[in-house]
């Protein structure tokens, strides 16, 4: 489970809202048991829908040229918080949510910096950012699905 905490953090580093969307749907569907924990809100009835709307908004906003870098403090912090929260949620059932939180933050750090570097390389190869952004979107979505299927 702890490796999944790290991996969901990487997803949060790629797309801030993708990780909590995946975790929230998993909790709401009863696959990830968060009842009675401080993370129970992730499985509440409307939480997955709210996160889904936020994730869709993020996917759209990321395509806009005026969107700030993921490495500026507010965006960077949001990715670390998202990764930590989701990493903790995965590890809470094993009773090791603090370690899951730490691994989620580490994963978000890796995903943020590694994702930015990979996207820059892809954008340079394509000669523009848009195809690189779509590839990064696809990687984040598919990775999130793979992680929740492994739970």
Question: Which parts of the chain are beta strand (E)?
Answer: none
- With left for phi above 0 and alpha for psi between -120 and 50, is residue 127 left, alpha or beta? left
pLDDT in tens, 37-93: 999 999 999 999 999 999 999 999 998 888 999 999 999 999 999 999 999 999 998
The first and second tokens of residue 95, run together, are 């009773």
Q: CB-based burial of residue 93 (10 Å sphere; 0-12 exposed, 13-18 middle, 19+ buried)?
A: middle
pLDDT in tens, 87-139: 999 999 888 999 999 999 999 999 999 999 999 999 999 999 999 999 999 99
CA distance 108 to 89: 14
CA distance 42 to 151: 16
pLDDT in tens, 3-40: 999 999 999 999 999 999 999 999 999 999 999 999 99
């Amino acid at each position: 489970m702890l490796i999944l905490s790290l991996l969901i953090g990487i997803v949060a580093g790629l797309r801030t809202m993708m990780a909590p969307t995946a975790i929230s749907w998993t909790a709401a569907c009863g696959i990830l048991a968060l009842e009675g924990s401080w993370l129970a809100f992730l499985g509440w009835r409307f939480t997955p829908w709210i996160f889904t709307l936020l994730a869709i908004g993020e996917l759209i906003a990321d395509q806009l040229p005026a969107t700030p870098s993921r490495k500026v403090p507010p965006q960077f912090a949001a990715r670390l918080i998202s990764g930590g929260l989701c990493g903790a949620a995965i590890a809470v059932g094993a009773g090791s949510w603090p370690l899951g939180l730490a691994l989620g933050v580490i994963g978000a750090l890796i995903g943020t910096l590694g994702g930015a570097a990979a996207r820059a390389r892809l954008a340079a190869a394509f000669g523009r950012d848009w195809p690189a952004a779509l590839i990064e979107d696809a990687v984040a979505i598919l990775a999130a699905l793979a992680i929740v299927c492994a739970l």
